[in-house]
Amino acid sequence: MHTTTLRVRFGETDVAGHVNNAVYLSYLEEARIQFLQDALNTTEVPLILASAHLDFLRQVFFPDVMTIETGVYRFGNSSFDLVHQLYRAESELALSSTVTLVYFDYEQQKPARLPEEWRDKLSRYWTDPPEPRR
């Protein structure tokens, strides 16, 4: 798993004092970009976010430090799925998320086959899919 550390900023909280639910997508995006740049050793990532599922498990507050673990658990022809686990205080699971990314040819405006080189590099971060939430 790849690890990204972020700190909650005051402006990301809402009237209830916890992180606003819409902000979590930004946290995951930041972790995902860092993961892809580190795993693929490039800043060129022609991907489209096709799906995002978030399970909110615990509240996160200012000025918590969050750790986001990211791993790959599925490959398709042009897509792959990631799991993100967001922890507060390094051990308290606060959010579990799965996302689907599609490798995209912007010139043709359509999905393209995921390069084998990417599969090889991303496979180093293979993990089990998240447990279904009940």
* pLDDT given at position 89: 82
pTM comes to 0.92
pLDDT at 110 over 70: yes
Residues 6+ apart with CB under 8 A from 38: 2
Residue 130, domain member (yes or no): no
**Domain membership flag for residue 133:** no
pLDDT tens, 13-72? 999 999 999 999 999 999 999 999 999 998 888 999 999 999 999 999 999 999 999 999
Is 128 a domain residue? Answer: no
- Give me the domain span that covers residue 23: 2-123
Number of structural domains the chain divides into: 1
Question: 129 lies in a domain?
Answer: no
Q: Two tokens at 69?
A: 């673990």
pLDDT of 12 higher than 80: yes
> Is 37 a domain residue?
yes
* Mean pLDDT for all residues in the chain: 94
Q: Is residue 96 in a domain?
A: yes
Residue 60's domain is classified under what CATH number? 3.10.129.10
- Looking at the domain assignment, is residue 29 inside a domain? yes
Task: Report percent pLDDT > 90 for the chain.
Answer: 89
The answer to the question of residue 132 being in a domain is no
Give the pLDDT score at 134.
58
Measuring CA to CA, how many Å separate 108 from each of 3, 49, 104, 132? 34, 17, 9, 36
**pLDDT greater than 80 at residue 93:** yes
**Phi/psi-derived region of residue 109, left when phi > 0, alpha when psi is between -120 and 50, beta in every other case:** left
